């Protein structure tokens, strides 16, 4: 038993931030279904864990458990909900980590959940009445990260099966349109939380990225012409000098570890001059 616990600890230590978020969501999901339910005195089932961690959009309920404006983003009740959110966290998360790094990714994800919760509270208490729907799920954080990466490099293209290459800004517009259309449905608070996360993701990049305007105007992702040769060395152009190539490789390695914003102004200038 002790060996199994030690093995789990070692695995956790070796895991990256995406794996830890996925693991936390899964653990909470399991706990909700194994230990959360109890029977009320009136005979109905209540899940105390969901009640404790989910966001009550009514201001009175929220004030009794203010921590829920964050914890709601780590709880899922429906299997399909956690499945699709886990897939989104995996793909969007790793794409974002390549450009933002761990610290910025966590800032956008956690604060996106917080902003989504605040927007949901504001909407319910000023525009919607007589509603008792509890808010759960990581979608606000996921939306925040996705809109952030789409804002950061809108012309980056993803290959989608049966469709082909689609730019991030187009996918972001479709993502937001889906939430806006769903505002007329029953889960208004959830979709407002998503839009709140989207707003934070956009503003975060706008306010922290000095190259934001450049990226919006640019028609291509600044790294779209990079290719990998058979020796697994990154090249911009076959005619570049060996000295330049070594410097490019060092800069790209720095980006992969700490994100594009970790580069100095001179490094950014040098990188774009290689185009």
Q: What pLDDT is attached to residue 223? A: 47
- pLDDT above 90: residue 180: yes
CA separation for the pair 159, 6 (Å, rounded):
40
More confident residue, 76 or 225: 76
Could you tell me if 263 and 188 lie in one domain? no
- pLDDT above 90: residue 196: yes
- pLDDT above 90: residue 228: no
Predicted confidence band of residue 42 (pLDDT cuts 50, 70, 90): very low
Could you tell me if 125 and 242 lie in one domain? no
Segment 42-55 shows an average pLDDT of: 73
CA separation for the pair 25, 77 (Å, rounded):
10
Tell me, yes or no, whether 67 lies in a domain.
yes
Q: What are 240-273's pLDDT values in tens digits?
A: 566 677 777 777 777 766 666 677 767 766 766 6
Could you tell me if 174 and 231 lie in one domain? no
Tell me, yes or no, whether 169 lies in a domain.
yes
Q: What is the mean pLDDT of the chain?
A: 80
Could you tell me if 98 and 148 lie in one domain? yes
- Domain extent for 266: 225-273
Residues contacting residue 37 through CB under 8 Å, at least 6 positions apart: 45, 46, 47, 48
Residues contacting residue 116 through CB under 8 Å, at least 6 positions apart: 73, 139, 140, 141, 143, 144, 192, 193, 194, 195, 196, 197, 200
Could you tell me if 203 and 249 lie in one domain? no
Could you tell me if 28 and 108 lie in one domain? yes
Tell me, yes or no, whether 9 lies in a domain.
no
Could you tell me if 234 and 143 lie in one domain? no
Q: What are 71-86's pLDDT values in tens digits?
A: 999 999 889 999 999 9
Contact yes or no for 260/105 (Cβ under 8 A): no
Q: What pLDDT is attached to residue 146? A: 97
Tell me, yes or no, whether 219 lies in a domain.
no
- Number of structural domains, the chain? 2
Could you tell me if 177 and 238 lie in one domain? no
Tell me, yes or no, whether 30 lies in a domain.
yes
More confident residue, 66 or 269: 66
Could you tell me if 81 and 153 lie in one domain? yes
Q: What pLDDT is attached to residue 11? A: 72
Predicted confidence band of residue 178 (pLDDT cuts 50, 70, 90): very high
Q: Buried b / exposed e across 63-82, counting CB within 10 Å, b at 16+?
A: eeeeebbbbbbbbbbeeebb
More confident residue, 271 or 231: 271
Q: What are 83-131's pLDDT values in tens digits?
A: 999 999 999 999 999 889 999 999 999 999 999 999 999 888 877 654 5
Using alpha carbons, select from 86, 84, 99 the residue that is nearest to residue 156.
99
- The region, left, alpha or beta by phi > 0 then psi within -120 to 50, assigned to residue 153 is beta
């Amino acid at each position: 038993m002790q060996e199994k616990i030690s093995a789990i600890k070692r695995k956790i230590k070796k895991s990256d931030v995406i794996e830890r978020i996925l693991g936390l969501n899964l653990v909470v999901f399991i706990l909700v279904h194994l230990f959360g339910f109890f029977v009320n005195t009136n005979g109905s089932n209540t899940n105390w864990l969901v009640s404790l961690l989910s966001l009550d959009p009514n201001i009175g309920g929220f004030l009794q458990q203010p921590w829920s404006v964050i914890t709601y983003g780590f709880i899922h009740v429906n299997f399909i909900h956690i499945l699709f959110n886990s897939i989104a966290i995996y793909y969007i998360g790793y794409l974002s980590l390549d450009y933002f790094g761990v610290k910025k990714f966590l800032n956008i994800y956690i604060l996106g959940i917080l902003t989504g919760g605040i927007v949901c509270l504001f909407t319910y208490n000023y525009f919607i009445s007589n509603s008792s729907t509890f808010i759960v799920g990581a979608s606000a954080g996921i939306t925040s990260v996705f809109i952030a990466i789409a804002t950061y490099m809108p012309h980056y293209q993803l290959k989608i099966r049966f469709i082909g290459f689609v730019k991030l800004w187009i996918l972001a517009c479709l993502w937001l349109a889906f939430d806006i259309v769903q505002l007329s449905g029953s889960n208004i608070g959830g979709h407002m939380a998503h839009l709140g996360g989207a707003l934070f993701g956009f503003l975060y990049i706008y306010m922290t990225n000095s190259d934001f305007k450049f990226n919006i105007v640019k028609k291509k992702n600044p790294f779209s012409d990079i290719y990998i040769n058979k020796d697994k060395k990154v090249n911009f152009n076959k005619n570049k000098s060996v000295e330049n190539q070594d410097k490019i490789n060092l800069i790209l390695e720095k980006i992969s570890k700490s994100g594009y914003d970790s580069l100095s102004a001179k490094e950014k200038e040098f990188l774009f001059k290689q185009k």
